[in-house]
Structures are given as C-alpha cells and as structure tokens.
Amino acid sequence: MAREYLKKATKTARSDAADVSATVQGILDDIEQGGDAKALEYAAKFDKYDGPILMSEAEIEAACAQVPEKLKADIEFSHANVKRFAELQKSTMTDVETEVVPGLIAGQKVMPVEAAGCYVPGGRYSHIASAIMTVTTAKVAGCKHITACSPPRPGVGIAPAIVYAAKICGADAILAMGGVQGVASMAFGLHGLPKANILVGPGNQFVAEAKRILYGRVGIDMIAGPTDSLILADKTADPEIVAADLVGQAEHGYNSPVWLVTDDRALAETVMARVPELIAELPEVNRDNATAAWRDYAEVILCDGREEMAATSDEYAPEHLTVQAEDLDWWLDRLTCYGSLFLGEETTVAFGDKASGTNHVLPTSRAATYTGGLSVHKYMKVVTWQRATREGAKDVAIATARISRLEGMEGHARTADIRLAKYFPGENFDLSAEE
C-alpha cells in the first residue's frame, strides 16, 4: 500500500517563517557602524535590561552561588558526558602525511579556530543544556577564547544555572545580551571581546537570520529552523512511551513538527488518542505550545512494512529520529538522513538534549540530508601542506605546465617552467598544451 496519512499537517516549518531578513540586516548594519553604544541601545530596547553586559568574575561567582547543589551536580554530570564524547570525536581527526609520488609529500594539519561565540537561548525556557553543548565542544576543540552569550531577564540577568554551566564548561567571557545584538557583538568583537571566528548555538528566527547573513564573514554551525522529531514504531512499541515522546518534543514551540511513522494501525490510533490527553496535563505554556504543534504540524503516517517506513523517514530527514521497533541493528544500518538517532525505548530525544553526551545542536528543516549536528569538528580547520625534492617536483611541474596552458593560464604554467629550467638545466620538456 502507499503511505496513508492518518493525520496530515496543515502547516510546515516554513509556514510561519516571517521575512525578517531586512529587519536583521538593518540591526547588524547599525551595530557594525555604531559599535558598543548601538549594541547597548538595542539591548535596552529588546532585552529590557540595564545591568552589566559583560559579567565580571565576581558577578559570575554570585550567580553560581544561587544554583542549588543538586542542579550543580546534574550540570556537572551532563558536562562530563558531553566532554567525554567530544574528546572521542576529536580523536578521529589527526595530522597525516603521505608520499603522493616519490619525492613529493603532502599532508594535513588539524587546528581549532581562535575564538568561538556560543549563543545560549534564554527566552521561553532557560536552555542550560545549550550552554553545555556549545561551550564544552569549543573547549575540547581547543579554541583559545570562548564567549557564551545569553539573553538576560529584566532586572535579573542571565539565569544563574546558565551562568554556572557556561563557567564550568570553559567560557572565557559571559555576555548578558540576546538576539541579533548579542550575535553581532560576538561577530564584531564588541565590549572588549575578540571577534568570533565561528558562531554556534540555537536561537529564534532573528538569531538564525543574523547567523545566515554573517556566514562567510564568520563560520556558523548551521542555520536552524524550528526543532522537529520523528518516531519510527512497529507493533512492539509501547504506545504510552511513543505518545509521551511526541508530546515531549511538541512542547518546544507552536511550530515544532512531530511525526509518527508506523506499520501498525492499532498503535497509531492509540497514540493519536493518547497525545491530546498527555498535552492537557502539561503546565500552561508547555500545553499551549504542544497543543498548537500537534494540531497544525504533527503527522501520523501508516506504511506498508519497515522498508517503506525507513524510506519515509529518510525523505523527512528529521532533526531527531527515534526507533522503537524490532531489530535495531537493521535500522541503524538502513537509515541515512537524520541529525541524531535514538535506538530503542531505553533512550529518548530528551536524553540527548540534556545529558547523554551527544550534541543537541542539530540540523532542522531537512538539513540532515547534507549535514550533521554540532561537534568538535565544527570548530576545527583541516588545512593541507606539501613539500618536495627537486626530483619529486619534476613530473608534477610538467603536468602543471600542460594543464595550465590548456586552461589558458600562462602565468601558472610559467611558475612550473621556471623550476624545471632551474632544477634540470639542459633537459628539454614538452610543456605545450597541444598534441
């Protein structure tokens, strides 16, 4: 059978994507020209905060002192897991060299960027985990300066738990500023900070657009849209857990798509009946977000067997992909497009979001078809080098001269000619592009 939509979304992640480009470009231009003063002006307007922008060590310590010891322990546990996994990732990138042809050695060096800017959302929810995910990976990569930037709350400042997480994970500076003005401050090196070479971390549509506009002048992790999640479930899945996992991701925001793909009609119908009941039990803000997300963006898709389920998932290329089905190794080998994969009911997206070690900054809106999520690798540059003996350069120079002339690049060709003439006087070479 073809796919059957038991529930079809009326909107997509792009339905409510307002055209914010002109607004963001204007703010970036103003701040680049006006510097610190203009950034502070926008901070006063949007953050509605008149406290210290760049937190002092004493202010950081005071904020950390407000964090309960149990929460500190949880943050430290999460940091240790993320750090351990990041160190494993870094170990996969090494300096190498090889003799390409006799006498010519080429290699690569792996090195971190100098300065990283880590944006940590702090609006609807205090994203403690985002501080852990972004700052820890930058620190493990070896960035010499890391700025953590988060929107302050009027009269309060940055949530103390975010400050604590940023500090223990290795931030060198903590900037109490949100939105475009925070991103711009890191990119332009305002408030006495070094210019960031890369900007990372999730944020709202204005933050995402600022990163998109600045990309090229600085590196970015990715351009993120609303978070999305897909669950693949067969007859062995527990419908209560499936429903809870869908609701857990729908609470992110009114426009956060969640999808259930299954080959079991009974499971689908049970989950569809249960989700609204679980949503109704959430606190008000979470309930309102999840209600809208489930109503407008959620889909339940019935497929004919696991191959069609896998093909559907790959087409959707979800940010988060959960498999609650038999033969997990088959799914691991078969699935190709996702930001992060959660195999079996014993793990869940929330584990990856908060504490299990893999990163939660992931590709959304089908970007998983071409990229993975944030990792140590995002902060690393892979550069190449070469050296040669004169004999080793000989055949390369001959080929270079001929190819360059065929392309019409005579200046390139002559850089090969001059070396052949110097290193092998008296030898004649056919360096023309013609037969």
Domain annotation for the chain: domains and CATH numbers: 20-93+113-221 (3.40.50.1980), 226-372 (3.40.50.1980), 389-424 (no CATH)
Has 145 been labeled as part of a binding site? no
Burial label, 100 (beta-carbon count in 10 A; 0-12, 13-18, 19+): middle
Has 33 been labeled as part of a binding site? no
Please name the residue that has the structure tokens 């609006």.
123
What mean pLDDT do residues 373-402 have?
Answer: 96
In this prediction, residue 358 carries a pLDDT of 96
Closest CA to 244 of 319, 318, 350, 341: 350
Given the residues 320, 326, 360, 427, select the one marked as catalytic: 320
Has 345 been labeled as part of a binding site? no
Is 127 annotated as catalytic?
no
Closest CA to 132 of 92, 89, 161: 161
User: What percent of the chain is modeled with pLDDT above 70?
Assistant: 98
Angle at 16 between CA 11 and CA 17, to 5 degrees: 125
Is 320 annotated as catalytic?
yes
In this prediction, residue 2 carries a pLDDT of 79
pLDDT for 189-220, tens place per residue?
A: 999 999 999 999 999 899 999 999 999 999 99
Given the residues 209, 251, 299, 319, select the one marked as catalytic: 319
Residue 1: is its pLDDT beyond 60? no
Q: How confident is the model at residue 18 (pLDDT cuts 50, 70, 90)?
A: low
Residue 14: is its pLDDT beyond 90? no
Q: How confident is the model at residue 155 (pLDDT cuts 50, 70, 90)?
A: confident
User: What percent of the chain is modeled with pLDDT above 90?
Assistant: 92
Q: What is the pTM of this model?
A: 0.93
What mean pLDDT do residues 284-293 have?
Answer: 96
